[in-house]
Amino acid sequence: MTTADKLAHYVLPTYSQFPVAPVRGEGTLLWDGDGKRYLDFCSGLATCTLGHGENSLSRAISKQAGELIHCCNLYQIDQQAELARCLVEECLQLPGRVFFSNSGAESNDGLIKLARRFGHARPDIEGRARYEVITFHQSFHGRTLGGIAATGQDKVKEGFDPLLPGFRHLELNDLDSLAATIQPETCAILLEPIQGEGGIHLATREFLEGIGELCRDHDLLLLLDEVQCGLGRTGEMAGWRTIAPDLVPDAVSWAKGLGGGFPIGAFWISERIMANDKPLFSLMGTGSHGSTFGGNPLACTAGLTVLREVIDQELPQRALQHETSIRETIASWQHPALTEVRGKGLLLGVGLNFKAPEGEAPSIHLSRELANAGLLAPPAGPDIVRLMPPLTVSAAEIDEALEIFRQTLDRVST
Ligand SMILES: *Cc1c(COP(=O)(O)O)cnc(C)c1O
């Protein structure tokens, strides 16, 4: 049986897959079992921050695996303590506390639980617990029951009702409608500063700063989902600072790029003092939350190694330089089948405008043809193909990828 046959027989078909089966990698490059070479501008969905193969991350994981893989949170884990310190002191530079999970959806569930606790601690004027979390259309917050309830896309919710109640989705960047619809039961606003899966849509600076003000005025929590845009990919360790440098959130979630491909998620809760003189993070005290695997020595070693490299090699700044050159190259094509380039740093979406055969979405069609031609660049929605290589990508690799992109686009769009 081939890989594809076994997958078809034994694995739930929750993903529609491309016919690509990588077995080995080196930096930005992947190879399949037949030796076909790919430039990886997918990075395992914005995850393989440092690229593939033998590198500081694979060495650190191997070494740690030989010393201690797991011991659980009943005991003290030094790598967890150090990774939390690095996230607080070096990445955010905002005081608070971190909880470690294993994925992005789990981290967002943690933010939702915080919002519920906050709503109990700070009820409405009638003394009723507040519970509503406002999120935005085209958002993506993960596939748990909490995550799909929070996500502003119908397709992830189909057939799973009754959903977790207490969510409302509004238009991104429409501050007036947001201000007009805050209700007594509202307790938090959750958003991706740069929406990833929903098609690379950026919150504007005015919108983020306006949300910050609304949260102060209405005693709401400002929750940022930085699972995809955080930790350097979009040009800052705190992703929202590429848009609104002075915004101060109450809690932030991470996953994807944090482990460089090793599964780890985390969320941070601010130390800001609430009306009862207690810090916000005290709402999530002993026994309030947990994870068997979360924060284990192996995962935290991966996270620490990734963050050390990203910070020390100044990869966020490099991501911004690469963005500039990618935008210049694509603009110089003046290609009639392209609409725009959206995004920040190395989280970019290229807008497509051509007719694909047999009613297929242009993004899926182009992604498949790009893969055939040796470039992995995943779709996001029907009209966007994403460019999100490892942050260690070289300028020469970007040039090669864009040349494949242009030639393939020429072929499929005429
Ligand atoms: C991918 C993603 C998630 C979900 O992360 P998982 O690790 O797949 O659970 C949540 N939020 C955003 C913004 C994401 O991009």
Contact indicator for 262, 277 with CB cutoff of 8 Å: no
Q: Whose CA is nearest to atom 5 of ligand 1?
A: 104
Q: Is the beta carbon of 192 within 6 A of some atom in ligand 1?
A: yes
Decide: 105 in ligand 1 pocket, CB within 6 A. yes
Backbone torsion region of residue 20, taken as left when φ is above 0, otherwise alpha when ψ lies between -120 and 50, otherwise beta: beta
Residue 309: per-residue pLDDT: 98
Verify whether ligand 1 is closer than 6 Å to residue 141 (CB atom).
yes
- Strands 37-40 and 96-101 turn out to be unpaired
Identity of the amino acid at 307: L
Q: Is the CB of 109 under 6 A from ligand 1?
A: no
CA 388, 48, 241, 210 dihedral sign is positive
Residue 256 alpha carbon, nearest atom of ligand 1: 7
Q: Where are the alpha helices (DSSP H) in 264-335?
A: 297-312, 315-333
- pLDDT at residue number 158: 97
106: nearest Cα among 58, 66, 146: 146
Ligand 1, atom nearest to 45 Cα: 1
Ligand 1: residue of 144, 256, 386 to mutate (most ligand atoms within 8 A of CB) is 256
Distance 181 CA to ligand 1 centre (A): 27
The fold adopted by the segment(s) 59-312 is Aspartate Aminotransferase; domain 2 (3.40.640)
pLDDT per residue as tens digits for the range 323-377: 999 999 999 999 999 999 999 999 999 999 999 998 899 999 999 999 999 999 9
| CB of 142 sitting under 6 A from ligand 1 | yes
Q: How far apart are CA 17 and CA 28, in angstroms?
A: 21
What is the whole-number distance in angstroms between the Cα of residue 133 and the centre of ligand 1?
A: 18
Q: What is the pLDDT of residues 286-313, one digit of tens each?
A: 999 999 999 999 999 999 999 999 999 9
Domain extent listing, the chain: 3-54+314-412, 59-312
Regarding the domain delimited by 3-54+314-412, which CATH topology (the fold level of the hierarchy) does it fall under? Aspartate Aminotransferase, domain 1 (3.90.1150)
- Please tell me the predicted confidence (pLDDT) of residue 366: 98
Looking at every residue in the chain, the average pLDDT score rounds to: 97
Ligand 1 pocket test target in 135, 144, 197, 254 with most atoms within 8 Å of CB: 197
Show pLDDT as tens, one digit a residue, over the chain (414 residues).
999 999 999 999 999 999 999 999 999 999 999 999 999 999 999 999 999 999 999 999 999 999 999 999 999 999 999 999 999 999 999 999 999 999 999 999 999 999 999 999 999 999 999 999 999 999 999 999 999 999 999 999 999 999 999 999 999 999 999 999 999 999 999 999 999 999 999 999 999 999 999 999 999 999 999 999 999 999 999 999 999 999 999 999 999 999 999 999 999 999 999 988 999 999 999 999 999 999 999 999 999 999 999 999 999 999 999 999 999 999 999 999 999 999 999 999 999 999 999 889 999 999 999 999 999 999 999 999 999 999 999 999 999 999 999 999 999 998
| Distance from the alpha carbon of residue 411 to the mean position of ligand 1, in angstroms | 33
Residues 351 and 340: their CA atoms lie apart, in Å, by 5
Using omega within 30 degrees of 0 as the cis cutoff, is the peptide bond preceding 162 cis?
yes
Q: What is the pLDDT of residue 275?
A: 84
Residue 276's pLDDT is: 86
Ligand 1 and 227: CB distance under 6 A:
yes
Burial level of 194, CB count in 10 A (0-12/13-18/19+)? Answer: buried
Q: 324 C-alpha to center of ligand 1: Å?
A: 26
State in Å: Cα 20 to ligand 1 middle. Answer: 22
Calculate how far, in angstroms, residue 169's C-alpha sits from the geometric centre of ligand 1: 18
Q: Is any atom of ligand 1 closer than 6 Å to the C-beta of 197?
A: yes
CA 29 to chain centre: 22
